[in-house]
Every structure is written in C-alpha cells, then in structure tokens.
C-alpha cells in the first residue's frame, strides 16, 4: 500500500496549503485565505451533510454528485452568490490539478468531477461608482483635526488619487513614496506581486507627507503608512468599515445622491478610472495606471458614462452635420482634465 493511500486527500491538501501555495508558487495571502475558506466549507459539508469526518474524506468520495450537492448547499444554506460559488470552484480546481500531478490514480476522479461542475454565470450588475460630487462630499466628511479622522481623510484621498485597491493601500509603506522635487510617486505592489509607479497630485502628496510627519514615521521606510487602532498593518476589512461609515453619513445628508444600494472601497477605484476616462486619458495609459495585465480588463473596469458618450456624439454632430457650421473645429472637451488629476 502506498503511503498516500492512507489519506491521500488530507496529506496532499496539507502540502498544498503549507508548501505549494505560499512557498513554491508565492501566492498572495488573501488568495490563500480565500482558498482555505472553500475547503473549510467543503469539509464542513462532508461532516454535517454526508456524515464523513474530515480524516475519512477521500478523493473517491468527492465525486460529481457530491460536489454538485456541495455547491447547492453553499447556495441554499450559506446564501453564496454565483460569483462566490465560482470562486470556491476555482479553489477546488486549483487543488485538483495539483493533486492529480502528485497522485494521478487517486485524484483523477476528483479532478474529473470538478471539471464537470458548472456554475451558472451571474448577471452582471452595474458597478457602483462615485461621481465627482460624491467624491468631494466623502472627502469633506472626516474630521481632519482628530487622529482617526485625519487618517481616514488621507487614506481616501490617496485611494482616489492613485486608483489603488484596498489591499494595495494597506500594504503601502513609508519606503513606497518616491519624491523628486515637486513630483511624488507611489510604488504600488499589485496582484501577483507586480509593482507599478503611480504619480499623485501635489495636494494629495502634501496631505500624505503631513500625515507621515504627524505619525512620526518619516525616517522608517519599513513602517506601514496606514494602521488601525490594534494593528500596525491595516486590513482590508478596516478600510471597508471606513467607507461604510462615511457612505452611510453621506447618504443621510444627501438623499439625492449616493443612490446605489451599496458602495465598497473598490467603488473609489472605479470612480478614479471613470473620471480619468471622462477627462480624456487614453485607455492604454489608464491600463498601466491601474496595473491591469490586459486592455480588456481596463475596458470592463472603467466604463465610460452615458453622459460622456452623449457629449462626444454631440460634438461629432455639431462639427460635421450642423448646417450652420462655420468651419471652426469644436472645442476638445476631452482635454479638460479634472482638477484633482492635473
């Protein structure tokens, strides 16, 4: 009997999470955490529904019918959305590929079953994007005279100025700031550990430098810029709570604005991208600014607003089809870069 036959599933699962993902592949902690949640749910399902203890789970027991029941269970009992189900399936699929390469005979049934699972595509929901007026309102809410308020103001300002993801902002360190005369850049580490350099406007860089001076960490390049009350390294959940707090206040004070059901920190990234597009920034430039690998991601991420489309169509019609056209070119409104991005 081979060593892995005793419990090939659990042995390989342990190696997958302790060695393969963090060491061999260098996968980001957030991704590993997401994958772990998928398998914690699977093990709980096997114990509670199938009455199979964790140490008794085998690849053979994870057949197509079992996996189908599992995904139905997380949908009904856990209220998981189609998008979340898709994420859980990706985690199982990644491990199935890893396991089959190490114990082909035992893991084949499992991988074949995973490959046959089909998750219905979720309906695309409109992205929640802050308007320029809404961004201005959000940035006016934190009390800059208080310690927490000042932090929140700087954090949201940096997110809008840089288009950074919540995790990327949490990971920013003092050494991530590069200054050259009157210019300031942030070295942002994105998905896959890839770094990009993003310039931020003078007003934002001044605010950021004041905050770093206030925290007395200017000479400490390895200190995280943003921290919580309990941790030196702020978490994404903390950023989410900050946005939730100010969005709720903004909705109460401005009932005619903030009309989407929910906004997340990513809404600020969407806002930055959309406002830059509206200001005439080319897609290729925006792609590098946001740290996307493909232009297709940028086109999906930052959709041009309908008002912008209407404006360009009107310019086109006025220039080429107006009977009273004097021959003078229409003003290029695309060059009217918003103040914050000058």
CATH of the domain at 237: 1.10.443.10
Spatial distance between the Cα atoms of 260 and 130, rounded to a whole number of angstroms: 9
Determine how many CB atoms are found less than 10 A away from the CB of residue 335: 8
pLDDT at 333: 40
pLDDT tens per residue, range 165-175: 999 999 999 99
Same domain? 77 vs 181:
no
Structure tokens at 228: 């919580």
pTM of the model: 0.61
Q: How far apart are CA 220 and CA 325, in angstroms?
A: 62
Distance in Å from the first CA to the final CA of the chain? 69
Residues 171 and 85 in one domain: no
Question: Does residue 291 share a domain with residue 184?
Answer: yes
Q: Which residue has the tokens 């200001």?
A: 279
Least confident residue range of 37-41, 69-73, 142-146, 306-310: 306-310
Together in a domain, 142 and 279: yes
User: In terms of domains, do 89 and 139 share one?
Assistant: no
Residue 157's Cβ-count burial label (10 Å; 0-12, 13-18, 19+) is buried
In sequence order, which residues have a C-beta less than 8 Å from that of residue 158 and are 6 or more positions away? 164, 169, 172, 186, 200, 204, 208
Question: Residue 48 belongs to what domain range?
Answer: 3-116
Q: How far apart are CA 65 and CA 82, in angstroms?
A: 19
Tokens of 201: 């406007």
Number of domains in the chain: 2
Strand partners, 224: 173
Residue 330 lies in a domain: no
Where residue 123 falls among pLDDT bands split at 50, 70, 90? low
User: Higher model confidence: residue 204 or residue 329?
Assistant: 204
In terms of domains, do 145 and 80 share one?
Answer: no
Q: What is the pLDDT of residues 235-247, one digit of tens each?
A: 988 999 999 999 9
Q: Are residues 201 and 236 in the same domain?
A: yes
Mean pLDDT is lowest, of 26-30, 33-37, 67-71, 242-246, for 26-30
Tokens of 89: 């399936």
Domain check: are 46 and 172 in the same one? no
CA-wise closest residue to 133 among 275, 35, 1: 275
- Give backbone dihedrals phi and psi of 225, rounded to 5 degrees, phi first: -70, -45
Note whether 97 and 136 are same-domain residues. Answer: no
| Contact by Cβ (8 Å): 188, 289 | no
**Are 155 and 243 within one domain?**
yes
Task: Judge whether 156 and 138 are in contact, CB under 8 Å.
Answer: yes
Better-predicted residue by pLDDT, 13 or 313: 13
296, 187: one domain:
yes
How far is it between the farthest Cα atoms of the chain?
Answer: 90
């Amino acid at each position: 009997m081979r060593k892995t036959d005793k419990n090939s599933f659990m042995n390989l699962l342990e190696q997958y999470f302790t060695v393969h993902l963090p060491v061999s592949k260098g996968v980001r902690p957030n991704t590993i955490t997401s994958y772990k949640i998928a398998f914690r749910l699977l093990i709980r399902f096997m114990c509670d529904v199938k009455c199979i203890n964790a140490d008794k789970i085998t690849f053979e027991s994870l057949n197509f019918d079992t996996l189908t029941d599992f995904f139905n269970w997380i949908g009904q009992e856990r209220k998981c959305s189609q998008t979340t189900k898709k994420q859980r399936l990706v985690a199982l699929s990644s491990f199935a590929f890893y396991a089959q390469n190490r114990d082909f005979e035992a893991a084949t049934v499992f991988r074949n079953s995973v490959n046959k699972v089909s998750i219905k595509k979720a309906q695309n929901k409109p992205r929640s994007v802050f308007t320029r007026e809404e961004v201005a309102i959000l940035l006016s809410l934190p009390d800059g005279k208080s310690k927490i308020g000042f932090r929140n103001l700087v954090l949201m300002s940096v997110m809008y100025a840089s288009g950074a993801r919540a995790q990327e902002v949490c990971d920013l360190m003092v050494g991530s700031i590069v200054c050259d005369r009157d210019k300031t850049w942030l070295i942002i580490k994105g998905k896959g550990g890839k770094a990009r350099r993003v310039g931020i406007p003078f007003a934002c860089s001044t605010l950021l430098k004041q905050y770093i001076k206030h925290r007395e960490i200017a000479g400490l390049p390895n200190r995280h810029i943003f921290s919580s009350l309990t941790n030196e390294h702020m978490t994404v959940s903390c950023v989410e709570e900050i946005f939730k707090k100010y969005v709720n206040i903004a909705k109460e004070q401005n009932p005619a604005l903030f009309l989407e059901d929910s906004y997340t920190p990513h809404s600020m990234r969407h806002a930055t991208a959309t406002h830059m597009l509206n200001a005439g920034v080319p897609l290729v430039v925006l792609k590098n600014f946001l740290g996307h690998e493909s232009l297709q991601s940028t086109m999906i991420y930052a959709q041009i607003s309908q008002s912008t489309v209407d404006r360009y169509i009107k310019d086109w019609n006025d220039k080429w089809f107006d009977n009273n056209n004097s021959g003078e070119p229409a003003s290029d409104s695309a060059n009217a870069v918003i103040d914050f991005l000058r």
